[in-house]
Amino acid sequence: MLVTGFPAGMFQTNCYILAQDNSKECVVVDPGQDAAEPLNEFLTGSDLTPRAVLLTHGHLDHVWSAQAVADRYDIPTYIHPGDRHMLADPGVGLGSSLAPFLEGATFTEPHEVIEFADGDEIEYAGIRFVVDHTPGHTQGSVVLRTVASTPDGSEVPVALTGDTLFEGSIGRSDLPGGNHEQLLESLAAKLLVLDDTTNILPGHGRSTTIGRERASNPFLTGLAGSR
């Protein structure tokens, strides 16, 4: 499986592209600010056609280009209902200090929005994703889990965690809709139960593994959760 990505926009939000080897189809996760053009260039150069846009949550830096990408390729956009309102009104998810970033900008929903829920399984481009609802950073935050096959034939679990879990840190909970205790509960119930080999693809920064974060992430110390 091809799993690649690039940081986009002023917030350097990771936009991910996933595709099966030798496939002409892919899935796009979290196309944020200034992601549309580099994404289109990559897709054209790789001869890939996206089949869906998946959003880990509704914050502007993760959804900014969702409408442009989804409508350009006539594909659905998936988001949890707890964050859907931010697609057309991203200001509700921002604090007052970030509101100036929206001055003069207008947003609309993609033409086809599908809401997903905890435990849902969705499949596009031959890739199956399991949806874990992880409220705390926002009320509609989700983690998207899948399995990648390696060149030697082994399988590696992968979790796209959005802004729920980062290398050495966790998501902020001080913006509208955030709740720190809820975030810790989500981490314990949905992420710390995963195998140590699970590769974490976060919304910002470098990739990591559950095992590495379990051992060294100071925010996870003392949380429940077992493999």
Using one digit for the tens of pLDDT, what is the confidence trace for 64-117?
A: 999 999 999 999 999 999 999 999 988 777 766 666 667 667 789 999 999 999
CA atoms within 13 A on the CB side of 55: 35
Cα 115 from Cα 140, distance rounded (Å): 10
Cα 42 from Cα 175, distance rounded (Å): 33
pTM of the predicted protein model: 0.94
Quick: pLDDT tens for 19-42. Answer: 998 899 999 999 998 899 999 999
Is residue 154 within 8 A of residue 162, CB to CB? The reply is: no
Q: Hey, how many other C-beta atoms are within 10 angstroms of the C-beta on 107?
A: 16
Cα 92 from Cα 111, distance rounded (Å): 21
Identify each DSSP E strand in 30-126 by its residue range. Answer: 49-54, 77-79, 113-115, 121-124
